[in-house]
Chains A and B, each alone.
Chain A
């Protein structure tokens, strides 16, 4: 069967299970778009290619399946870059297809020519430049394999226009055995023994749960392991959801805006069991003073992460679910009730200081909004948060019980991620209740995708946490730059009118009493609702470890008295 390169592309994508792509057409990708009409593919037309990459990313994070973005050459391709880098940092499997000028024109600075394989080289797991239709099928097969195998990540396929137009015989290769899918041999038995010895003798152990648990689908085995060994669990931002928030062993989030007792427990622990996480600087604070009392076991699929940021005693390279399954039957049942009671005692007055327990002063705090949202949705929504203060409050006050129920840009911290990523998540899981929690700054970076939502008739609830500032930057200016608010006050359009202009329903809330009724009304409405929450302007995310500071030296939440005083 002779097919064009463009047809082979779709034949291959369909065989890889792709039913939906996010993209934007243009000259160099036209043959592929033309061929697409003959295949059972849903195409979501984005308003900016950055949105396409974020949507593919959101699709991947919501399901674990590879998300696909498609764009033309030149600016179409370069617009994908931020989305690709976001997926790279958070190990999200996406495949991006870009058009390229004809192979005879490459290197001639032709119209809309750009070296996208060169540009994306450091932010993809791998990329390809194709100029022969004969290579298309095997490359697509390999690209999907690379994207989802090992530590997942983004792959880009750049196809010249003539590669899409020329014809050849189509054969679907059996299976891809790319070197990137090197067989996972698992850790050596000696290393497992060393880990077991540490686990058996630890008096104050702690599990650090990261994104790898979700990627591996290992939530259940991790929970059983923690219960069997009686080891409390701290979560990274992307680890949230991998263990239910309500689980008695789950202490909550660690790191820069983690809970003080979690960080304190890490500093006092005598053993850290790091599962599918990478000791990011937002997690460790000053690495020179990080967990000095603890031996460390690091279970991680990417061996280059072992000893990269923090020196460990035992590194176990491989799939976290498989490794913990191997450890579980060989570790004796543990009892660390004394240690857990000690951690509990460190919570101290934290609950009293917690903003959600403040009496209603009439002021609307972001934490109230998010906590009420959690209560109303019973913690069952898929929440897609953006980047900044609201992202940290979401992590603190929305309690996630399910893996893949929090989607957020962790490693790259990409503002503008939430709205398009939520579109990807909703398309992937149409039955899920999807909420966007986004700041007024980040929302304006990609709000054009409201048009995509309207065109596709999607049902996404958007909570804009509107404080009139680029809040997290303002907070740093408050703490570290003597309140010199350079370029952080932010004027926004009327978000209600804006959403209505897109044909969407919109609401506004300025008082705490109206939060729950509005959330209820939004949930009752079939279709997208944009809610403009006018929250306290100069609110601050506590607790906080200043960048590079020691983990135990957190800036704690102010006492209720101080907070109430500030209210007056």
Chain B
């Protein structure tokens, strides 16, 4: 799995362009999230792709060919934090409710809604943690689940991804960081 943080211009159709690129080059998107970034006019995508190192080079090179793409960072092999949010609706009875409360406590999940025969948990964490909670909740009956997909951010100073200096929505593009060497 390769995780990319991609800065794009916040313009209509940008998501389609990125998705279309992955489709026509036959890369499998594991998850894709998009939202605003710290800079006005710039959106931030986190894209998890099922590929290897060589594929990752191509993904980045192809992304850079899209006019609206400002910057591509492969954060897979850098110190980074990744988080995903899940909402899980579980069937409950008076008997099972205390046990689910305990499990939620162990996973540091929050109970955000309780009904007569179900409750909704909110959990944030890495993908594996979410999967594990889901596993232990299965026996009680998972009625619904919604997950956001992965968000990623490089750790610490120097690895932070910032929008290009002096960027104005519209035209001031970032220089391609050009940090790829092809010599063997």
A314 touches which one: B13, B64, B182 (CB < 8 A)? B182
- Tell me the smallest distance from the CB of A246 to a CB of chain B, in Å: 35
Task: List which B141-184 residues lie within 8 A (CB) of chain A.
Answer: 170-176, 178, 180-184
Bound complex: CA of A44 vs CA of B65, how far in Å?
Answer: 32
Q: Which chain B positions have C-beta within 8 A of A312? A: 182
> Do B67 and A190 have beta carbons less than 8 Å apart?
no
A188 touches which one: B13, B16, B181 (CB < 8 A)? B181
Q: Which chain B positions have C-beta within 8 A of A185? A: 175-176, 178
User: In this assembly, does A117 line the interface, its C-beta being within 8 Å of a C-beta of chain B?
Assistant: yes
User: In this assembly, does A118 line the interface, its C-beta being within 8 Å of a C-beta of chain B?
Assistant: yes
Which B-chain residue is minimally distant from A179 (CB atoms)? B173
User: In this assembly, does A304 line the interface, its C-beta being within 8 Å of a C-beta of chain B?
Assistant: yes
Which B-chain residue is minimally distant from A146 (CB atoms)? B67
Bound complex: CA of A182 vs CA of B62, how far in Å?
Answer: 14
User: In this assembly, does A442 line the interface, its C-beta being within 8 Å of a C-beta of chain B?
Assistant: no
Q: Which chain A positions have C-beta within 8 A of B102? A: none
Which B-chain residue is minimally distant from A151 (CB atoms)? B65
User: In this assembly, does A308 line the interface, its C-beta being within 8 Å of a C-beta of chain B?
Assistant: yes
With A177-B173, A179-B173, A182-B173: A303-B180 Cβ-Cβ less than 8 Å: yes
Q: Which chain A positions have C-beta within 8 A of B69? A: 179
User: In this assembly, does A41 line the interface, its C-beta being within 8 Å of a C-beta of chain B?
Assistant: no
Q: Which chain B positions have C-beta within 8 A of A178? A: 67, 171, 173
Q: Which chain B positions have C-beta within 8 A of A191? A: 181-183
- Tell me the smallest distance from the CB of A448 to a CB of chain B, in Å: 32
- B interface bracket (residues with beta carbon within 8 Å of A): 20 to 34
Task: List which B29-78 residues lie within 8 A (CB) of chain A.
Answer: 54, 57-58, 61-62, 64-70
> Do A179 and B183 have beta carbons less than 8 Å apart?
no
Which stretch in A119-127, A162-170, A250-258, A341-349 binds the other chain? A119-127
> Do B67 and A180 have beta carbons less than 8 Å apart?
yes
Which B-chain residue is minimally distant from A126 (CB atoms)? B67
User: In this assembly, does A96 line the interface, its C-beta being within 8 Å of a C-beta of chain B?
Assistant: no
Q: Which chain A positions have C-beta within 8 A of B66? A: 126
User: In this assembly, does B20 line the interface, its C-beta being within 8 Å of a C-beta of chain A?
Assistant: yes
- Tell me the smallest distance from the CB of A109 to a CB of chain B, in Å: 19
With A304-B58, A304-B65: A176-B181 Cβ-Cβ less than 8 Å: no
> Do B61 and A182 have beta carbons less than 8 Å apart?
no
Bound complex: CA of A228 vs CA of B35, how far in Å?
Answer: 54
User: In this assembly, does A183 line the interface, its C-beta being within 8 Å of a C-beta of chain B?
Assistant: yes
- Tell me the smallest distance from the CB of A164 to a CB of chain B, in Å: 19
The contact string, 1 if C-beta is below 8 Å from chain B, for chain A 131-158, is 0000000100010001000000000000
Which A-chain residue is minimally distant from B24 (CB atoms)? A122
Bound complex: CA of A314 vs CA of B184, how far in Å?
Answer: 7
Bound complex: CA of A182 vs CA of B58, how far in Å?
Answer: 18
> Do B175 and A182 have beta carbons less than 8 Å apart?
yes
User: In this assembly, does B17 line the interface, its C-beta being within 8 Å of a C-beta of chain A?
Assistant: yes
Bound complex: CA of A125 vs CA of B17, how far in Å?
Answer: 11
User: In this assembly, does A307 line the interface, its C-beta being within 8 Å of a C-beta of chain B?
Assistant: yes
The contact string, 1 if C-beta is below 8 Å from chain B, for chain A 174-199, is 00111111110100101100100000
- Tell me the smallest distance from the CB of B139 to a CB of chain A, in Å: 46
The contact string, 1 if C-beta is below 8 Å from chain B, for chain A 342-363, is 0000000000000000000000
Q: Which chain A positions have C-beta within 8 A of B181? A: 188, 190-191
Complex A-B: 25 CB contacts under 8 Å: A117-B13, A121-B13, A121-B17, A122-B24, A125-B67, A146-B67, A178-B67, A178-B171, A179-B9, A179-B67, A179-B68, A180-B65, A180-B67, A181-B173, A182-B174, A191-B183, A303-B61, A303-B64, A306-B182, A307-B54, A308-B58, A313-B184, A314-B182, A316-B182, A317-B182
**Residues of B bordering A, CB below 8 Å:** 9, 12-13, 16-17, 20, 24, 54, 57-58, 61-62, 64-70, 170-176, 178, 180-184
**Residues of A bordering B, CB below 8 Å:** 117-118, 121-122, 125-126, 129, 138, 142, 146, 176-183, 185, 188, 190-191, 194, 298, 302-304, 306-308, 312-317
Sort A-B residue pairs by CB-CB distance and give the 6 closest, nearest first: A315-B182, A179-B173, A304-B61, A182-B176, A126-B67, A180-B67
Given contacts A142-B171, A190-B183, 18 further A-B contacts (CB under 8 A): A126-B67, A138-B170, A177-B172, A179-B70, A179-B173, A181-B173, A182-B173, A182-B174, A185-B175, A191-B181, A191-B183, A194-B183, A306-B61, A306-B182, A308-B58, A312-B182, A314-B182, A317-B182
